Amino acid sequence: MLSLKAHVAILLGFLAALIAVIAAGGVMQAMGMAQLPPAWRLPALILVFVLFLGVGFAAVPVIVKTVVGFHNAVGNADLAVVKAVTARQALLIWILWGLMAAGAVVAVPAAILGGMFSPPAGQGPPDAPGASRGLLAAAPGMTLQEMARRSTLKLDIASRHGGPAPVVAGGGVFDFSVPGSAVVFRGCRYYYISTWTKDRDRIQGISIGTAPRKLTRVQLDAADDAVRARLAADGWLAGHEVYRDEEDRRLHGGAARGPEGGVWLKDGIVLNLRAKRMGEPETSADDAAGREWIQYVELWSRDDYSGIERYRFAPYRGAPGP
């Protein structure tokens, strides 16, 4: 049996590894990153489970040796029970390990039957009304067949005449991602995907209702800030409009450039973060509290985005502003 210091080092190693894995998962979730690929999910679950068991098993010799050492240090070495345990530390540790292993033999199959290692059902955010029906993976320029193949959300991509649908639209609770981006919009409520008139099988524009519910102005601002942070972390570039002549600048209060944080660019895809006001307040007082909003995003290819020549793109600097 190893020394107490060696067993403490082993325990700390298991603890550090477990904390690191859990922390990494928490950071990914907080940033809204995509889930692990299906092929990685089971190994990741097994890794966490093994580390958890490792912490438990590594703690046993540390506890036994610490207790025995304490009693010997305070003068209880002559007590019969202390003598017996001191002489049989290794046996006691192996007995405790055996009991834990027997418990694991019973618990692990029960956990498997209970779905611990099964793929999780897609879930929306805590305030989304119901579970996600699947993932919509789409981008301008993709074919409808490729979109359907990449998505787990059931899509109707055929027109009633049998050819490609000019518009693919629907509602419900679902998740949305742009292939090539790690950002996932969870708890979306509607999608509207239009195709090119000259090529009905290829996507031209996408509109996604990204808010799971109506938002106050304060909630909308917070939701927009969260999306901007995730886009910036994923390498999207923030765009701002450049006011190029005196007349243009005069119309914008003398500013030389517009705010950033609304239009984003990555891999030739333009994402426009937008909001729509729902209805009107009953009175003009307390305007911010009286209106409700929804957040949505629109996506176009860079070559097809109107006025793209007026925009400059760079890493996001922070809060929207000139």
Tens digits of pLDDT across the chain (322 residues): 788 889 899 999 999 998 998 888 776 665 555 455 666 677 888 888 889 899 999 999 999 899 888 888 888 878 888 888 888 888 988 999 999 999 888 887 776 655 555 554 444 444 445 688 999 999 999 999 999 999 999 998 887 666 788 899 999 999 999 999 999 999 999 999 999 989 989 999 999 999 888 899 999 999 999 999 999 999 999 998 888 778 777 776 777 778 888 999 999 999 999 999 987 654 544 455 568 999 999 999 999 998 899 999 999 987 554 4
The answer to whether residues 271 and 139 touch, using CB atoms and an 8 Å cutoff, is no
Half-sphere exposure of 57 (CA within 13 A, CB side): 17
pLDDT score, position 104: 85
The answer to whether residues 124 and 187 touch, using CB atoms and an 8 Å cutoff, is yes
Give the three-state DSSP class for 271: strand
In 3D, which of 86, 180, 175 has the Cα closest to residue 132?
175
pLDDT score, position 319: 59
pLDDT score, position 115: 57
pLDDT score, position 126: 44
- Report the C-alpha gap between 94 and 35 in whole angstroms: 40
- Report the C-alpha gap between 312 and 21 in whole angstroms: 39
DSSP letters for 151-174: --S----B-TTSSB-SEEEEEEEE
The answer to whether residues 294 and 275 touch, using CB atoms and an 8 Å cutoff, is yes
Instruction: Tell me the two tokens of residue 230.
Output: 């995730």
Half-sphere exposure of 18 (CA within 13 A, CB side): 17
pLDDT score, position 289: 55
pLDDT score, position 268: 95
pLDDT score, position 185: 95
Q: What CA–CA distances, in Å, run from 208 to 145, 176, 199?
A: 19, 8, 22
**pTM exceeds 0.75:** no
pLDDT score, position 34: 47
- What region, left, alpha or beta, does residue 16 occupy, with left being phi > 0 and alpha being psi -120 to 50 degrees? alpha
> How many other β-carbons are positioned within 10 Å of the β-carbon of residue 211?
22
